[in-house]
Amino acid sequence: MSEVTRFVTEWGPRPRRVCYILALCLCIVLVGCSRIATPQGWSAGNVSGDNLFIGTMEGEILAVQKETGDLTWRRQLPTLEDSDRAVYGRPAVTDSTVFVGGYDGSLYAYDKNDGDLMWQEPLSGRIVGGPTVYGDHVLVGSGSVSSSDGSNGALYAIDMTTNDPDWTYQTDGPIWSSPTVHDGVVYVGSLDHNVYAVSLEDGAEMWRFTSGGAVGSGLAVAGGLVIFGGFDSTLYALNMKTGDLVWRFDGASGWYWAKPLVLDDVVYAPSLDGALYAIDATTGDLTWVFDTEGGQIVGSPVTINGMLAVPVADGGDSRIALLEPNGSFLAACRIGEDVRTSLEGDGDLIYFGATDSTIGALRIKGNGNPDEEWVFVTNADDPHPSGRPKKC
């Protein structure tokens, strides 16, 4: 049995065929160190100040001007092996520092202004989810992507002033998502099927909830609930204080990979079955469904100008779809390459990475029409090649 087959068998029940194939491809990319020479990450972006900070498919961290896409600085992760050089999670940014989780298992801290490497802290296993900054701590999860890695999973609280772990909480499976922190509690899911609530102060477990499948998505905390989806195609809402189940939604036919978006008592849950589900956050009842009709939603949507922007991964027909608040389709920008990243929004611009080694910005007009603002080609000598036709 291959590492990939063993992974899929162990961590989740079998979903619908199309979602199984996509999830298997995702696992192949992540397990790639034993089968593929160089893994290719898909990092979401983080806008802070005048710049967008984002990882590239080549294992770099970029700072580009958010309005023009002009390069501010770029740095390649200083890993020892090319097979370890990748960024999958969204960078975390403070007033002075950019924190990046490397697939090599190190947490990196870069100077926000000039990109100089300030420090790196090697951790066990691999880092797939991005770090989260809260107070004086950087929270990050790690874990194995194959049985040969020799690491289950761990949640770390790193002191930003000393770059040493204040505490470590061990899990029985890898952590593939960014931790969520609320009121002194760190919430995180694991591929061991559990969601954990851990004290930020000392790493003591407060509660755990065992779901029906691996939890690879980030957790949304809103309205006293912890909301997440699992590899059992189920969306869960837990009481944030006790971990007790409040409601569950079983209407999807594919895995949940992305963190749900919660806004105005509505949960927008993207699934690998190609649908975005709008769920009443209080009752768990389905409000509406947007079906991509063949695509998959790997990353999280954002709201912009009162609309929903949804990344649709669909090979050559991949696109950013714009929806009205009631789920009605407005318009789309055809990207042409898979968009696996979650979207980042700032003002009337949205940012994303695509699998053709491009980072793009779309300006969304008030009527829902998207216009390509700029594109940065990360693997080209000229990142802004002249004569390149706009996608929309």
d(CA 265, CA 243): 20
The CATH number of whichever domain residue 221 belongs to comes to 2.130.10.10
Q: Do residue 192 and residue 233 come from a single domain?
A: yes
Structural domain contains residue 115: no
Distance of CA 284 to the CA centre of its chain: 23
Residue 319 and residue 259 share a domain:
no
Q: How far apart are CA 47 and CA 66, in angstroms?
A: 7
Query: Is residue 29 included in any domain, yes or no?
Result: yes
Helix (H, G, I), strand (E, B) or coil at 148: helix
Question: Over 90: is that where the pLDDT of 241 sits?
Answer: yes
Mean pLDDT (whole number) for 145-150:
60
280 and 361 both lie in a single domain = no
Asked whether residue 182 is domain-assigned, the answer is yes
Indicate if 269 and 325 belong to the same structural domain. no
Q: 96: which DSSP letter?
A: S
Question: What pLDDT score does 14 carry?
Answer: 44
DSSP state of 392: -
Question: Partners of 198 in the beta sheet?
Answer: 186, 205
In a domain, 96, yes or no: no
Q: Say if residue 250 is in the same domain as residue 319.
A: no
Q: Residue 315's domain is classified under what CATH number?
A: 2.40.10.480
Q: How many domains are there within the chain?
A: 2
Residue pLDDT, tens place only, 132-141: 999 999 999 9
263 and 311 together in one domain: no
Is the distance from CB of 273 to CB of 293 less than 8 angstroms? no
Q: What is the CA radius of gyration of the chain?
A: 19
Establish if 76 belongs to a structural domain.
no
Question: pLDDT-derived band of residue 38, with 50, 70 and 90 as boundaries?
Answer: low
Range of the domain at 234: 3-37+123-291
What is the reported pTM? Answer: 0.92
- Is the same domain home to 254 and 314? no
214 shares its domain with 358: no
Whether 163 maps to a domain, the answer reads yes
Instruction: Note the pLDDT tens digit of each residue in 341-376.
Output: 999 999 999 999 999 999 999 999 988 899 999 999
- pLDDT 10s digits, 169-189: 999 999 999 999 999 999 999
3-11 helix and 17-30 helix, angle to the nearest 10 degrees: 120
Q: What is the pLDDT of residues 321-344, one digit of tens each?
A: 999 999 999 999 999 899 999 999
Please tell me whether residue 25 adopts helix, strand or coil conformation.
Answer: helix
